[in-house]
Amino acid sequence: MSNSIKLAILGLGTVGTGVINLINDNLNELKRRSGRDIIITEVGTRRPS
């Protein structure tokens, strides 16, 4: 998987959660268009849960 696209998300509020949901909902189409795997590798938050 060295040719994968690695993403980091900053924040798990409304926008960060929405971005993760969009990526998950459209993962197959994103893979098809890019020809690469999409992996969320890091998530940063202001306050740990």
Q: Over the stretch 7-42, which tens digit does the pLDDT of each residue have?
A: 999 999 999 999 999 999 999 999 999 999 999 999
| Residue 49 in domain | no
Sign of the C-alpha dihedral, residues 26, 48, 10, 34? negative
pLDDT score of 48 more than 80: no
Torsion of CA 21, 22, 28, 34, to 10 degrees: -130
The answer to whether the beta carbons of residues 5 and 23 sit under 8 Å apart is: no
| Residue 40 in domain | yes
pLDDT score of 1 more than 50: no
Q: Which domain holds residue 11?
A: 5-44
| Residue 35 in domain | yes
| Residue 30 in domain | yes
Report how far apart the first and last C-alpha atoms of the chain are (Å, whole number). Answer: 30
| Residue 14 in domain | yes
pTM of the model: 0.79
Domain total for the chain? 1
Cα 23–25–26 angle (5° rounding)?
65
